[in-house]
Amino acid sequence: MGSKRSNAPGKPDKPKRSVKFRKAKVRHTVFTLGANRLTGGWLKRKHDAQQPVKRHVEISTPSWPKALDGLRIGHVSDFHFGDLMNLEKAMMAVEALASESPEIICNTGDLVDLEWMGVEPLARAFVELNPPLGNFFVLGNHDELEDGEAVARVATEAGIHVLRDDTMTVSRQGHDFRIGGVDWARTPKQCTDRIDRMLQSGRPDLLLCHNPKGFDHAAAVGIPMTLSGHTHGGQIARRNKPDANMAFAHKRSAGLYEIGDNRMFVTVGVGAWFPLRMNCPAEVVIITMRHGEPSASHD
């Protein structure tokens, strides 16, 4: 029989950290903190002073249910709570949401950057906004780096609905409105598998999927609207061309996309991996959904 190593009495167990977490931590230390140090802290000071912009998008499509016409969604993503996103900076985005009073708040993942501890007040701040249809959240890849179960628990305990390959139905003006969400999935095939698992509890009107690579399958199974994040819009984009950016691994990396009558909006997010954004400001998005002829407008 083997013996188990344990910490000395009185010392708490150190969390077990995955190879992925340790690699991400090294990358963060070298490329983010290291680059910032080389600029004498200038990068982070500039980054910290930038407020998220508020963006209003109106999307009309015949596939959106008539009964849910006019739904106003507050869409946020990729806070990356940690060194580049303290509570004070995160609250700028929460306040931007509060000023718009959306009916529902949808957070498409990467709430934390590396370590999850300390994020609890941010999770509670979303709930304190008290949107009438509630707060919904799905896990992103960064949420899973240290302990995805812990991030999901913190959100749930705060009062956020965490959709893990699952759906939930709420009532809006007497009509059922089904929201679905899937855990982090890296490849299109993994996205498909998770979406199929979610569909066992019914087809949602609105899907939260951190990775925009889920859209092909979401559209194929007839989900009218998908919300995604993950790409950060590459953080560096061509002027006035948010879709032409550094997120080379993604063909859909910023803004609105369509397949037939189904739609996906990819937000460039609130936070950052690296304290620099060019032509790609952090954003809080207010989406109004309309049933009608295909059209889209934004400010």
Among 17-25, 74-82, 173-181, 216-224, the segment contacting Fe ion (CB under 5 A) = 74-82
> Between 143-158 and 19-27, two packed helices, what is the crossing angle to 10 degrees?
100
**Residue 77: CB minimum distance to Fe ion, A:** 7
**Residue 151: CB minimum distance to Fe ion, A:** 13
**Residue 269: CB minimum distance to Fe ion, A:** 6
Among 2-10, 75-83, 94-102, 177-185, the segment contacting Fe ion (CB under 5 A) = 75-83
Binding pattern for the stretch 13-52 against Fe ion, x by CB under 5 A and - elsewhere: ----------------------------------------
Give the CB-side neighbour count of residue 29, counting CA atoms within 13 A. 6
Answer yes or no: are the C-beta atoms of 110 and 141 closer than 8 Å.
yes
How distant, in Å, are the alpha carbons of 27, 35, 50, 271 from that of 250?
Answer: 21, 25, 26, 18
Using the minimum distance from each CB to Fe ion, give the nearer residue, 162 or 199.
162
Q: Which of 78, 146, 165, 283 binds Fe ion (CB under 5 A)?
A: 78
Q: For residue 263, what are its two tokens?
A: 């739609």
Using the minimum distance from each CB to Fe ion, give the nearer residue, 78 or 166.
78
Distance CA 218, CA 196 (A): 9
Using the minimum distance from each CB to Fe ion, give the nearer residue, 113 or 205.
113
**Residue 3: CB minimum distance to Fe ion, A:** 41
Report the site for Fe ion in 99-158 (rule: CB under 5 A): 110
Which residue number is nearest to Fe ion in terms of Cβ?
110
Q: What are the backbone angles phi and psi of residue 236, rounded to the nearest 5°?
A: -130, 120
What does the DSSP 8-state code read for residue 189?
H
Using the minimum distance from each CB to Fe ion, give the nearer residue, 206 or 282.
282
Answer yes or no: are the C-beta atoms of 158 and 127 closer than 8 Å.
yes
Nearest in space to 186 (alpha carbons), one of 178, 194, 198: 194
Residues that bind Fe ion (CB under 5 A): 78, 110
